[in-house]
Chains A and B, each alone.
Chain A
Amino acid sequence: MRQLAPRSIIHRTGTRLASVGVITVLGLRQLLVAIGITPGILGWMGIVIAAVSVTAGVETIAVRRVRFELTAAGLQLQQGVLRRDARQIPLHRIQRVDIAQSLPLRVLDLSTVRFRSAGGGGAEAELRHLRRSDAVALADEFDAIAQEAGTTQTDGASGELLFYLDRGGLLRAGVYGVDLRVLGGITAAISTVGPTLLDQTAFGPVLLRWVTTEAAVLPGVAVLVLVGAWGIGAVRRMVRFAGFTVERVAEGYRYSGGFGARYQGTIPAEKLQSVQLVDTPVSRRFGYAALAVQTAGGVEGGGGSTTVVPLAPRAEVRAVARALGISPAATLRRPPLRARTRYRIRAVALVGVVTVAAGLLGSWLPVMLPWWGPLVLLLPGVWLANHQWLHRGYHIDGSHLTTRTGVLRRRTTVVPLAKVQTVRVRQTLLQRRRTLASVGVDTAGGAGATAIDMDARGTAAVSEALRAPFTHLDPLSLVPR
């Protein structure tokens, strides 16, 4: 039986302390303060040392207890600190073996190994962690065993390079990408650590006084946070997508990337449900887009959506989509002009409601605020309404449905008709007034595609085209084209 890399104790202790340890220590502090004990600096050091050593001890046992073996029968896994679990995962349940590395793991030359099941969802089993070289060897071993056992198909041209992100592309991918999660993280960090920082350190009162007297610095701080978030996001994306590659392999498509050491994953071809081209006003302006694929069952952490092109010129993105067997339509049919009228009215009405609400609220406040303040939103609102119309559209032919929507994050979704599960035509009261309707299809993965606000007179033809692959009851004719 094999064991985990001993040095993973370091990483596991670190992550455990980061997730539970900090909260425990802070909670302990509150508790001690509540009962009237204030431990000195030595006391605190004692508490921290105790926390670290207990965690390290538990993780040491946990790491040493793990035993695993990969054979033709499958994966045997024993683990557990308090109870001993012994698991036997049959080979056919394991679809593939993924290797992942976060930045701290890279420093330690460690990898997380995940055994993915065919059914989707999360991982069947996870090994935290193996040395990078051992992880790669294990993944190769699995490929060899699986091929021998015939649980994965081995036909089709292998190794064809579908996409490679070069240096310039990487730079653009980092700079154009806006990751709102980073901003959320920074906000969360400020709101949790901030109060403690303010009343626990000598620096706090100074900062507080400065901010309250010089209110003008606040916009500056906001800009700084935004730029910082953008910068961190850019670096994160660049670390993640360094040398990003997509190639054709026997069972589907393999993507890999990462700064220094690399991660990789496989998208089984038959699980592919739809592709989505994503662009923002900035990347659109320069003719770039990203490509994500939706799969049935989880491919990356059970999410169902995987990035295959971080950012590339639109023509290249289309070429990659075609290589995946899905061709996006070149031109889409926009919603009728009356839809634009509808969006404009909606925008104006919304601003009106906000103005009335703000006016009412303002009359209750002691300060005088101009009631017309929210009216400055009128112009951006109408602009957004126009562009909402401009970017919406759909196209259907004998093999694919393409739909597009969104201004700040425009998504063009392409679904092969053979992957359609259900078809849904919706008409709200307001849509009926203008003879508009939305036609949506549902697939086995991802959110499907919806043609919003198309001419209601065309829905019959579209649903007819959508169900065309199913109209012949001869089972042989049902094989996807």
Chain B
Amino acid sequence: MEAVNEREHTLDPRVRWRWAMRGIGPVLAIAAVATAAVWVARVPVPPAIMTAGLLVVGGGLVWALVRLRYRRWRYRLDPDGLTLTHGVLTHVRTVVPYTRIQHVDTRRGPLDRLLGLGAVVVYTAGTRGADVTIPGLSTREAGVMQERLRDASERTAGEDAV
């Protein structure tokens, strides 16, 4: 039985691109709508400048938020449980004792696969169980984490999780 690593981990830096791609969608949509509105209403502003301005400001905002979010995200394997720390405006710290883990999934969406990322989803019997997700690990790291968490939950099994 190997000792569970207590070191704090950060996510894979590539997750920033994933979040940025997610965040840029609304920016594009707003820019498109605003440009169309300016054009239809014949406001004396060149649509190209309008679009470019919106994209620069919106893109900058998204990137700043993504950077902050990446810097805040930490996960840690303690001897007794998994701790996640994240959140920019609202700071959240979640602790899941290993005994409560029912099963551990890895999840890879199309965007994840494109970037070589994976997420680890930890299920408990709790009503908000599906909330415990570590996003943006490298594929290898996700596999290792799944293995470790499964291991830890098996070693501490002995108590009914309900």
- A interface residues (Cβ-Cβ under 8 A, vs B): 270-271, 296, 420-429, 432, 442-448, 463, 466-467, 469-473, 475-476, 478-480
Contact = CB atoms under 8 A, between A and B. Distances in A.
B89 A422 contact: no
Main secondary structure of the interface of A (DSSP, over half): mixed
B113 interface: no
Interface of B: 79-81, 87, 89-100, 124-129, 132, 155-162
A446 B125 CA distance: 11
B127 A473 contact: no
A470 B126 contact: no
Nearest to A480: B159
Given A426-B87, A444-B127, A473-B79, 18 more contacts: A420-B97, A420-B100, A421-B96, A421-B129, A422-B126, A422-B132, A425-B92, A425-B93, A426-B90, A442-B124, A442-B128, A443-B127, A444-B161, A466-B95, A471-B80, A473-B155, A475-B157, A476-B158
A104 B18 CA distance: 59
A471 B100 contact: no
Contact of B127 (A270, A420, A446, A467): A446
B79 A447 contact: no
Contacts of A478: 99, 156, 158-159
Contacts of B127: 442-448
A479 B157 CA distance: 10
A141 to B, nearest CB: 28
Nearest to A440: B128
A427 B90 contact: yes
A422 B128 contact: yes
Given A422-B100, A424-B93, A467-B95, A442 B159 contact: no
A428 B89 contact: yes
A462 to B, nearest CB: 11
A426 B94 CA distance: 9
Contacts of A480: 159
Contacts of B80: 467, 470-473
A480 to B, nearest CB: 7
A331 to B, nearest CB: 26
Given A426-B90, A426-B91, A471-B79, A421 B126 contact: yes
B126 to A, nearest CB: 3
B89 A423 contact: no
A425 B160 CA distance: 25
